[in-house]
Chains A and B, each alone.
Chain A
Amino acid sequence: MSETFQEQRSYIEMNARQRARQLLDPGTFHELLGPFDRVESVWLPKQDIVPQSDDGCVVAKGTIDGEPAVVIAMEGKFQGGSIGEVVGMKMAMAFHLARKDNEKGIPTRAVLSLESGGVRLQEANIGELVIAEIYSELVALRKHMPVVVVIAGNTGCFGGMSLAAGLSSYVIMTRQARLSMNGPEVIEQEAGLEEIVASDKPFVWSMCGGAQRYETGAADVLVEDDADEITNAVKELFRKGQPKVQRTDQYELYIKRIAAMDTSKQWMPEDIRKVWKEIAQ
């Protein structure tokens, strides 16, 4: 902690472009397929919805800690950070090109700054297809170089992108962020109020918020909403290199943990932490 009052710069308050710029070394940000290229969703205007010039996804090349890197940052405020055709292909192609560079001997790092409610319902079929592309490219890339996911903002990370986070090598979260397959509103709608009260924010955050996800191993690093702290956490993870074991290779452990939970009673966050830590392998 600094002795003087130092301005903490919020990462959450930044838009996608500012976030990408923040995570790359100063002065190295170079956007690919930027807003002036006007690669927008062709599906949204057909449904009377105003598109955004970058479709809510910023892809930027540059360096991180002096090494070649690509940052893919989602804009959670546009269409709920949903994955449509353009967003998804930008993401998948960025991973693809990063892998190609790695194969050519240029060790390229990839960071994914997620802010997503999942697939874009207006482009559902194509959206699901590109999400599959994202997964396969992410898994191919992580063999060469760790893929780091940052989940910071209030949109959180749900649906298809929650699985992308699960496939990544490392996940960095803030306490403000949430990570879950189904969002609380969806669970309430499908399973009823006895299952979850989506408006009970303290409960929702205690279950799928960053602190709980960190304590139960779905996130690797818990950070404050501080742009520099998040940038440093990303650098540290790349310095660390590959994780000892990929999260997705531990599926047997997770199955065991879930099987140990008696679903007839309401589990509280602390109990989940305790039981999951007891079942360590």
Chain B
Amino acid sequence: METMNFEYPASTEVPKRACVGVVASGDLEVLLQPSKDSKSRVTIQTSVLGFKDTWKSVMDWFFGQYTDAADIVIHDAGATPGTVVLRLQQAVEESRS
């Protein structure tokens, strides 16, 4: 298991918290809730070692478009970058519904 953290500047507020996905092979769980300041923080626990650069690319891309100040927790069981992005987008959608 590998744990990593990322931080991004943010400008808007998370309307409400959201929990999506399951920690099952090839999938992940995303918890998204409002952060206490104008920053977004992501904590990732993943079962697959050695992909920190890939995670960073995915997060850089995601936070290039997402501006809400969110604390995000990811529990990953070997999801592909595509699945990770879909789950993140699903969490954002749920936080706005």
Contact = CB atoms under 8 A, between A and B. Distances in A.
Interface of A: 15, 17, 34-36, 45, 48-53, 75, 77-79
A36 B23 contact: no
Contacts of A77: 22, 24, 27
B24 to A, nearest CB: 4
Contacts of A51: 23, 45, 75
A53 B74 CA distance: 10
B72 to A, nearest CB: 12
B22 A78 contact: yes
A36 B33 contact: yes
A36 B76 CA distance: 17
B47 interface: yes
Interface in B34-73: 45-47, 73
B31 interface: yes
A36 B19 contact: yes
Interface residues of B, number: 17
B77 A50 contact: yes
A77 B24 CA distance: 5
Q: List the 10 closest A-B pairs by CB distance, nearest first.
A: A77-B24, A52-B23, A48-B1, A35-B19, A77-B22, A50-B45, A50-B47, A50-B75, A78-B23, A50-B23
Contact of A49 (B19, B24, B47): B47
Nearest to B74: A50
B50 to A, nearest CB: 14
A50 B46 contact: yes
A48 B49 CA distance: 11
Contacts of B33: 36
Contact of B1 (A15, A35, A49, A75): A49
A51 B22 CA distance: 10
Contacts of B46: 50
A172 to B, nearest CB: 23
B43 to A, nearest CB: 11
A80 B29 CA distance: 16
Contact of A52 (B1, B17, B29): B29
Nearest to B3: A45
Nearest to A51: B75
Contacts of A35: 19, 29, 31
Contact of A53 (B24, B27, B73, B77): B73
B90 to A, nearest CB: 12
Contacts of B47: 48-50
Nearest to B1: A48
Contacts of B19: 17, 34-36, 53
Nearest to A75: B22
A77 to B, nearest CB: 4
Nearest to B25: A77
A35 B73 CA distance: 11
Contact of A50 (B1, B17, B31): B1
A33 to B, nearest CB: 13
B45 A45 contact: yes
